[in-house]
Amino acid sequence: MPNAYDLQGRKAIVTGGAQGIGRAICEMFIASGADVAIWDVDATLAEQTAGEIGASAITVDVTDEASVNEAVLKTREALGGIDIVVNNAGIAGLNTGTHDYPVEEWNRVLATNLTGTFLVCRAVARVMRERGYGRIVNIASIAGKEGNPNAVAYSASKAGVIALTKSLGKELASYDIAVNCITPAAAKTAIFDQMTQEHIDYMLAKIPRNRFVKVEEIANLVAFLASSENSFTTGGVFDISGGRATY
């Protein structure tokens, strides 16, 4: 049984919430009393997941500014406000050496993982400043701290998410808005379908716990960071890498 955090009445957005880590976070939030909007580019899967867990579904492309702004309006109408945002939407990109890495693939990964996080943070920060309250949790990666070989775009994008979190956390600290990120090791989700087996084996070999993180473990940490109990820490980076992190 997961720990319960008091999110009663809170209005939450989870990007990429239709499956994997995002779905686990949505389920944890709902169990803790929050109203949840799943933001996902896959409209069919988002509607299916929303129906199964009791959430709202909003189709959004986080790489598109107009789509994000429209989704904010739809979410405020559907939920009545925005208190919590989890930026979870992300892609792995190709596993290949930097010397062969296609520029178009670099741009695609950065657009989703980093620019997408920026666009969502930018849009919801305006709403949260008006309310004088908010919790933003960005899903970075241990790759953003250490850099994974043959994953230059993914590693760089997640390092950018860490820096974005630190910057925004300082900007919004006086508004009772906490902005933090987590740096998980890999979890067995659909993102594994985008990776080579060699890369998956490399990631597992680097984890002292000798297993991949469970999505429920990530959801528990995110739930604390999204709660009002997290009343002081902002701009923080929370490790959940099974002992892999060196700092």
Known catalytic residues?
Answer: 154
**Cα dihedral across residues 166, 80, 221, 133: positive or negative:** positive
Q: Token pair for residue 140?
A: 């970075």
Q: 136 φ, ψ to 5°?
A: -115, 130
How far apart (Å, rounded) are the C-alpha atoms in residues 163 and 17? Answer: 23
Helices (H), 99-141: 103-110, 116-131
- For residues 136-154, one letter each, b for 16 or more C-beta atoms within 10 angstroms of the residue's C-beta and e for the rest, the string is bbbbbbbbbbbebebbbbb
**Contact between 217 and 21 (Cβ < 8 Å):** no
The residue whose two tokens read 């087996």 is 197
Q: Token pair for residue 112?
A: 């989703």
How far apart (Å, rounded) are the C-alpha atoms in residues 71 and 41? Answer: 11
